[in-house]
């Protein structure tokens, strides 16, 4: 029997702190503390990065490049990217470039983040329901999702990045964002079904766990590795789950870190 997509109100939220059943014997899975929206603390002075004009320039550039979803552009104009990068790199925070965040991982280019979020939001609803993010990283995309979705579960396998994201997001106090430490390849079944799933790392194959946890009518946006004539290439995939099966679209080439399993 297929399950209809539903909002968080249709289902009680799982208790927190949460534990992933498959990992209980090896390591605990932590969740972030619910965060309430409050004004942000002071940012470093002299950089001009706290000015909304800086973010508006980024938004204007993305709009010229074809990002037209007003909800995504509004989120990008609110969330301050420079709070999620190393202090030595803050002057590059609003350039369209990926930046290192430690442990061999990166924060994706704003144009790629905006593109993936716009694809996720193409359903047309004003606000998405429950969404799962695979790969929290530094927490930037989770903060953006918090502006676009009713409820966000974001899972990260690297404890160092999970802790960093918690620190980065704590000042924002986003009540609808919950951070989990766990294996993203397995998704997060206690929160399913999801209206959307978005991945920040490239998988070799489409995870069956993600498909199972996606609601009928839901959408998955993820980079997928594909073996090309020369080396390993990646492309952006959109997978829509319908009552009759999966509808898959392969879009433009992208470059992401590879998706890995287990905890580290």
Catalytic annotation present for 249: no
- C-alpha 182/C-alpha 120 separation (Å) is 23
Strand boundaries in 83-213, DSSP class E: 99-102, 105-107, 128-134, 149-156, 177-181, 194-199
Query: Catalytic one among 108, 154, 203, 207?
Result: 108
For residue 262, what are the CA distances in angstroms to 79, 84, 243?
30, 24, 32
Backbone angles phi, psi at 197, to 5 degrees: -130, 135
B/e letters for 214-244, b = 16+ CB within 10 Å, e = fewer, are: bbebbbbbbbbbeeeeeeeebbbbbbbbeee
- What is the rounded distance in angstroms from the CA atom of residue 179 to the CA atom of residue 152? 8
Cα dihedral 187, 191, 197, 198 sign: negative
Q: Which residues are catalytic?
A: 108
């Amino acid at each position: 029997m297929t399950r209809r997509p539903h909002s968080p109100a249709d289902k009680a939220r799982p208790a927190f702190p949460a534990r992933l059943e498959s990992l209980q014997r090896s390591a605990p899975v932590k969740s972030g503390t619910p965060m309430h929206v409050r004004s942000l603390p002071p940012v470093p002075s002299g950089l001009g990065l706290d000015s909304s004009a800086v973010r508006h320039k980024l938004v204007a550039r993305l709009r010229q490049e074809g990002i037209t979803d007003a909800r995504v552009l509004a989120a990008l104009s609110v969330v301050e990217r420079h709070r999620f990068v190393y202090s030595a790199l803050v002057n590059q925070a609003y350039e369209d470039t990926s930046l290192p965040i430690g442990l061999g991982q990166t924060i994706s280019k704003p144009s790629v983040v905006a593109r993936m979020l716009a694809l996720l939001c193409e359903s047309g609803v004003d606000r998405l329901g429950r969404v799962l993010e695979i790969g929290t990283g530094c927490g930037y995309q989770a903060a953006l999702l918090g502006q676009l979705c009713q409820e966000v579960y974001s899972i990260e396998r690297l404890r160092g990045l999970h802790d960093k994201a918690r620190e980065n997001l704590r000042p924002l106090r986003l009540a609808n964002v919950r951070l989990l430490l766990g294996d993203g390849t397995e998704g997060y079944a206690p929160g399913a079904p999801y209206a959307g799933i978005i991945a920040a790392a490239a998988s070799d194959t489409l995870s069956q766990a993600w498909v199972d946890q996606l609601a009928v009518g839901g959408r998955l946006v993820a980079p997928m590795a594909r073996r090309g004539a020369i080396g390993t290439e990646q492309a952006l995939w959109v997978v829509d789950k319908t009552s009759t099966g999966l509808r898959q679209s392969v879009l433009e080439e992208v470059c992401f870190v590879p998706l890995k399993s287990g905890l580290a």
